[in-house]
Amino acid sequence: MPIDVAVVPVAGRGTRLLPLTKSQPKEMLPVGSKPVVQYVVEELARCGVHRLLFVTGPGKTAIENHFDIDAELIDNLRETGKEELLEELAFEREDLQYFYTRQRRQLGLGHAVLCAEPVVDGQDFVVALGDSIIGLHAQSKVVRKMTDLFESAAAAAVIAFENQRVAWLFQWVWRKTGLPSRWTATTVNSVAGASPFFFALGLFRVR
């Protein structure tokens, strides 16, 4: 069964990027004319993911507002003769469903993913970090490659990361994310176009 659910953790405070993140989410920082999180969503949409669950925290309402349809802004652009800018809002009309839940306490990435459990409800799902651009120039197929491998290998988990020493990275991911030890993993060591951000992507089978 195709995987069309993604969990996107966005609850982190972004303290490493202060003062930029003092009053805005790190996921909303611009890269070109778009915020980082929009690139993440577009990558997922290109690869067949149509339902996105954002795990949010305090000060993250800008993310929800960004993906809402802003009818007032659309009307304003039309009334003021700026219809050419409507194309920049095309992402609002994508056939995607957005859901939001809260990580009420800052207990790390693994806990943020677990906060999605009641919504995911036993479905296989993608994890994509909301502050990490997965590929460049809207050409990345990392998610597609990972889902194909996930299904063909009947893996419990597939994780993409920058090509480094595998044993060291595995010790690091379990220690840093707090993922339950009952999840095993199949690694992708050289996924073409993989994000330079470690653990930018993962797929998990809930059992």
| Sheet strands (E) in 26-74 | 30-31, 34-35, 51-56
Average pLDDT taken over every residue of the chain: 77
State the burial class of residue 82 (Cβ atoms within 10 Å of its Cβ: 0-12, 13-18, 19+).
Answer: exposed
Residue with tokens 């059992």: 207
Percent of the chain past pLDDT 90, that is, above it, reads 23
**pLDDT-based confidence at 33, cuts 50/70/90?**
confident
Residues 2 and 100: their CA atoms lie apart, in Å, by 22
118-174: per-residue pLDDT in tens? 888 888 888 988 887 766 665 677 788 888 888 887 777 787 765 555 545 555 555
> Does 3.90.550.10 match the CATH number of domain 5-204?
yes
CA angle 17, 55, 130 (to 5 degrees): 45
**pLDDT-based confidence at 197, cuts 50/70/90?**
very low
Name the residue ranges covered by the structural domains of the chain: 5-204
Answer yes or no: pTM beyond 0.95: no
Could you tell me how far CA 106 lies from the centroid of its own chain? 18
At 17, list the tokens.
């990027």
